Amino acid sequence: MASLTFSEVQRSNARQSFSTQQWQSITPSITAAGSRLPRLMKLPNKDLLLSWVEPKGEGYVLKFSVMHEGKWRESGEVVQGLNWFVNWADYPSVVAIDEKFWVAHWLAKQKGGKTFDYDIALAISNDAGLTWREIGHPHQDKGVAAEHGFVTIFADAGEAGIVWLDGRNYVKKEDKVRYPEKSGNFNLRYTRIHHDGTIESEQVLDDNTCTCCWTSVATTPKGAIAAWRGRTNDEIRDNRVALLNNGQWSKPKDLGAEHWHIEGCPVNGPTVVARENQVAAAWFTAEGERPRVRLAFSMDGGETFAKPIEIDDDAPLGRIGLVWKDSRTAVVSWMTAADPVTKRSNLALRTIDVDGNVGAVTRVVEFSSGRDTGVPQIAAVDQGVLLAWTDSAPNFGVRNALVDWAQFQPASALKLTTFTNKTVPFIAAICGRDH
């Protein structure tokens, strides 16, 4: 870990290292008009699983497709229905726990509820997506008008683990006197789903979280590591991690600890990936009015992390993705600063290895910097990095790009630079609730 300890002046400067070339290899579309909200996951055999949402009549349908040997092949449908909650930042998933046991989730509005009153709906398949069976909700507060979302499903000791943000105890500050039994906070909760569809009791990982930043989970030989954005009563909204060991989660620990004070949720969650006991975590912060993307490595399964390294300090938008390229190198994806005139951003990539060497920033594609783009997805394949995102409104459409490994410029050691402490006004995509 000593080789990962950097002085405060060792920072990458994205503006000096952007590649002037754009690498685009758009794969044939396997989605219909109006498709949105892609999510990329790995299958146990290393194939890729892409899920997305399409409009159908007055409702929606959750679909998926499998990429094998560089081509989208088998496709399927999980469920279709009315009254879904379809949101750019809180989106469904289809996850392969093993070769046959798959779990899917989507979001359903509560009848008669307010805008953000919705439930997590679950379905399982025991034949690799050929047939599906709905099994209800992971949260056991039936009938409570509240937000339940920002789900991550993951393999958990042969079963399916699931974490989510839960608003059953949330109330506005001015209403706390009326509801003394509620903490007033959002929680991060966890349970497990068995192959037969039964769901275990819930556990609370964190009793005070941000309300609408997506969550992330990776698995090491020691167990799972979860990452999310926490919150304090003083409105400090930094990221946190916790480790799962023998069915119990550790006490949450800070990730980055920038002490970012912001009155509303910035809608920008962290991401964490693991390769054996090596863990990489990347996140967004705008502490001190300085928007930036940061990354830190852990060599002990997430027990401790080295000092963060700046990936982009030139007012990026965030919405981060992260994969391992090999045993020493990770690849980060994110949305760069929006052009003040065109309101468009770049989906960018950058390599960084465990010794702190960073590659040049590669702009892959230019697109809308708004919410219509959603949260771009990234996955590592043999040929390179596969990306997925939603095209601009009102037509939408899921897009794919494959960036060959050969297109990444070699990494070079971080140069000593003087950080100017320039302040940049930051406008968060705040979720819209009172806090």
Domain with 81, as residue range(s), is 2-407
Tokens representing residue 380 in the block: 């590592």
Tell me what the pLDDT averaged over the chain comes to. 88
Q: How far is CA 137 from the centre of its chain?
A: 21
Whether residue 216 is contained in a domain is answered as yes
Contact status, residue 64 vs residue 76, Cβ threshold 8 Å: yes
Tally the domains of the chain: 1
Q: What is the pLDDT of residue 1?
A: 29
Whether residue 287 is contained in a domain is answered as yes
Q: What is the pLDDT of residue 20?
A: 39
Whether residue 420 is contained in a domain is answered as no
CA dihedral 203→209→213→215, nearest 10 degrees, is -30
DSSP structure string for 81-125: ESSB---SSS--EEEESSSS-EEEEEEEEPTT--TT-EEEEEEEE
Backbone dihedral angles phi then psi of residue 405, each to the nearest 5 degrees: -55, -30
Cis-peptide, bond into residue 394, ω within 30° of zero: yes
Whether residue 333 is contained in a domain is answered as yes
Provide mean pLDDT across the span 91-98: 98
Tell me: pLDDT of 18 over 50: no
Whether residue 419 is contained in a domain is answered as no
Q: What is the pLDDT of residues 308-360, one digit of tens each?
A: 999 999 999 999 999 999 999 999 999 999 999 999 999 999 999 999 999 99
Provide mean pLDDT across the span 122-143: 95
Whether residue 413 is contained in a domain is answered as no
Q: What is the pLDDT of residue 112?
A: 87
The residue that leads in pLDDT, 126 or 431, is: 126
259-277: buried (b, 16+ CB within 10 Å) or exposed (e) per residue?
ebebebbbbbbbbbbbbee
The residue that leads in pLDDT, 191 or 112, is: 191
Rg, C-alpha atoms of the chain? 20
The residue that leads in pLDDT, 113 or 283, is: 283
Q: What is the pLDDT of residue 250?
A: 97
The residue that leads in pLDDT, 89 or 420, is: 89
Provide mean pLDDT across the span 415-423: 37
Lowest mean pLDDT among 48-52, 66-70, 225-229, 257-261: 66-70
Q: What is the CATH number of the domain that holds 96?
A: 2.120.10.10
Whether residue 435 is contained in a domain is answered as no
Provide mean pLDDT across the span 66-93: 93
Q: What is the pLDDT of residue 2?
A: 29
Whether residue 424 is contained in a domain is answered as no
Q: What is the pLDDT of residues 208-262, one digit of tens each?
A: 999 999 999 999 999 999 999 999 999 999 999 999 998 899 999 999 999 999 9
DSSP structure string for 327-340: SSEEEEEEE-PPPT
Tell me: pLDDT of 415 over 80: no
The residue that leads in pLDDT, 385 or 413, is: 385
